[in-house]
Structures are given as structure tokens and as C-alpha cells.
Amino acid sequence: MNNSTISITVKFFATLRQYGPDKEVLTIPKNSEGKFLFDKYNIPKNERKAIILINGRPHKNLKTILNDGDIIAIFPPIGGG
């Protein structure tokens, strides 16, 4: 890691595990948006209606800028109860 990169943890769940890892620590460019991860793992367009939790808080907007140390959990649309 240097001044132009950050370290984040990314976790994929449920049906999205066919595209991304259960859990991986990544070094990515600073100021990357959430969308960066979808591109990196080639998530098909029709699977991008995902639920994204950044540090345990739900985010709808894929343009959210990621910060060093963030934990990003990515789920497909989910229900239950």
C-alpha cells in the first residue's frame, strides 16, 4: 500500500459467490467507487441490483467512495424472516 492505494476487505454472499470471493483483502486505488468492485469481478449487469453494506451500513449508491479499512459486504436481493 502506498499513498495512492487503500486496503479494503470485500465479501460476497449467496448467489453472488459464483463471481466473487467469500472474503478477500484487496489493495485498490484511492477514491475508488463501490462500482469498481463490480467491474473487477465481472459481475453481470443483471446481477448488479445488489445490497451493499459498507462497515455494516446499507448503501444503495454504487458511487460511494471507498475508504481505507472499509469492509464491503455484497449480497444479492434478499428476503426472509
Choice between 28 and 52, CB closer to other proteins = 52
**Cell (9 digits) for 15:** 448467489
Residue with cell 449467496: 14
Which is closer to other proteins, CB of 2 or CB of 63?
Answer: 63
* Least Cβ distance, residue 30 to other proteins (angstroms): 24
| Radius of gyration of the chain from its Cα atoms, rounded to whole angstroms | 12
Sign of the Cα torsion 41, 68, 4, 65 reads positive
Residue numbers at the binding site for other proteins (CB under 8 A): 11, 13-15, 17, 49, 51, 53, 56-58, 60, 71, 73, 75-81
